[in-house]
């Protein structure tokens, strides 16, 4: 592969072999997923004020992952223990697919996501997302520092996809500042997929890419968790130093390369004008 973080291997859904897989695997899964969404939509009105809603949303994520071919999340014992014993209120995770949300919701069901506003308007998903998402007022540009600080004071855990957009999991983009301005410890998490399962915004249509995944017998997702990163006094006084040192720590912990590109260099989200 090249060193371009905004390019991944993709498959053509219309290949004959994939058409056969769609008939035998993809279409039955679509029927099950649509049926599940209908049931979930109805149940929402009975459980939206229930104290057990967090557990229900975790179960929803597990079911959707399973129906999407992700029969289990591959995670080692050390990472499980770090999750169980986690005291950090900020979690920073790389972003390589829309599947990341379901994976993180399964592993950290009580945490809240920083999410793009368009998710709020998605059918079914949007209604459930209102319970565990803090929405950006404008995609990429809105400042939620004060709002999130209040959540942190109230003991909430916040998940940041600090790269700001989907890119390859073996290359970490320059991280955005949001997770670091709070100057508190951070739990690093890394999600990895088969090369074909990586989704780069704009390179592939999301629906077509998801249909391709439904055609596969099994889709793999691997999760690793690093030890909590405690910012030094120098890092607390200078966010840029904090970001640089944390990025280095993330790179060494998970064996990924650091890119000099950031989300604004994304060729599909921010195409250059001629």
What's the distance, Cα to Cα, between the start and end of the chain in Å?
A: 28
* CA dihedral over 31, 33, 38, 43, signed as positive or negative: positive
Q: Which helix (H) or strand (E) holds 222?
A: strand 221-225
Q: How far is Cα 45 from Cα 59, in angstroms, rounded to an integer? A: 17
Range of the domain at 231: 16-257
Tokens of 153: 């004071």
List Cβ neighbours of 46 (8 Å cut-off, separation of 6 or more): none
Is 264 a member of any domain? no
pLDDT at 57: 81
- Asked if 230 contacts 199 with a C-beta cutoff of 8 angstroms, the reply is no
The answer to whether 232 and 30 have CB atoms below 8 angstroms apart is no
- Residues 107, 109, 110, 113: what is their CA dihedral angle, to the nearest 10 degrees? 90
pLDDT at residue 64 in the model: 93
Over residues 123-144, the mean pLDDT reads 66
d(CA 75, CA 224): 6
Which pTM does this prediction carry?
A: 0.91
Q: Which of 23-27, 31-35, 205-209, 251-255 has the lowest mean pLDDT?
A: 205-209
On whether residue 234 sits in a domain, the answer given is: yes
Average confidence (pLDDT) over 117-138: 68
Residue 266 covered by a domain: no
Q: What is the 3-state secondary structure (H, E, C) of 40-82?
A: HHHHHHHHCCCCCHHHHHHHHHHHHHHHCCCCCCEECHHHHHH
Residues near 186 by Cβ (< 8 Å), separated by ≥ 6?
88, 90, 91, 92, 179, 180, 228, 229, 231, 246
Would residue 3 count as lying in a domain? no
Mean pLDDT in residue range 87-108: 95
pLDDT at 231 over 90: yes
Tell whether 262 is covered by a domain: no
Which residues touch 118 (CB under 8 Å, ≥6 apart)? 139
pLDDT-derived band of residue 114, with 50, 70 and 90 as boundaries? confident
Write the DSSP symbol of residue 105.
H
Q: Which of 258, 244, 242, 232 is nearest to 94 (CA)?
A: 258
**pLDDT digits 0-9 by tens, 56-80:** 888 889 999 999 999 999 999 999 9
Q: Which helix (H) or strand (E) covers residue 100, if one does?
A: helix 99-107
The verdict on residue 274 lying in a domain is: no
Q: Which two tokens stand for residue 145?
A: 């520092």
Largest Cα–Cα distance in the chain? 59
The CATH number given to whatever domain includes residue 246 is 3.40.1130
Indicate whether 1 belongs to any domain: no
Is residue 6 domain-resident? no
pLDDT at 146: 86
The number of distinct structural domains making up the chain is 1
pLDDT over 90 for what percent of the chain?
Answer: 63
């Amino acid at each position: 592969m090249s060193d371009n973080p905004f390019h991944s291997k993709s498959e053509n859904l219309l290949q004959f072999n994939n058409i056969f897989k769609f008939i035998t695997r993809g279409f039955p899964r679509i029927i099950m997923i649509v049926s599940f969404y209908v049931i979930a939509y109805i149940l929402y009105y009975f459980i939206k004020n229930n104290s057990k809603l967090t557990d229900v949303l975790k179960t929803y994520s597990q079911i959707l992952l399973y129906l999407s071919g992700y029969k289990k999340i591959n995670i080692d014992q050390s990472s499980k223990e770090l999750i169980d014993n986690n005291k950090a209120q900020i979690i920073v995770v790389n972003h390589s697919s829309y599947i990341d949300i379901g994976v993180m919701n399964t592993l950290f069901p009580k945490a809240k996501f920083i999410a793009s506003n368009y998710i709020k308007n998605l059918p079914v998903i949007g209604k459930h997302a209102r319970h565990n998402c803090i929405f950006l007022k404008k995609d990429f540009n809105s400042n939620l520092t004060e709002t999130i600080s209040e959540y942190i004071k109230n003991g909430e855990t916040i998940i940041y996809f600090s790269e700001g957009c989907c890119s390859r999991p073996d290359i970490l983009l320059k991280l955005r500042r949001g997770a670091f301005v709070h100057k508190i410890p951070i739990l690093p998490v890394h999600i990895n997929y088969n090369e074909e399962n990586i989704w780069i915004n704009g390179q592939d249509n999301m629906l077509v890419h998801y249909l391709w995944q439904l055609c596969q017998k099994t889709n793999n997702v691997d999760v690793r968790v690093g030890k909590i990163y405690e910012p030094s006094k120098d890092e607390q006084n200078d966010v840029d130093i904090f970001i640089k040192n944390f990025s280095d720590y993330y790179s060494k912990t998970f064996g990924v390369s650091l890119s000099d590109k950031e989300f604004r260099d994304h060729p599909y989200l921010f195409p250059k004008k001629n």
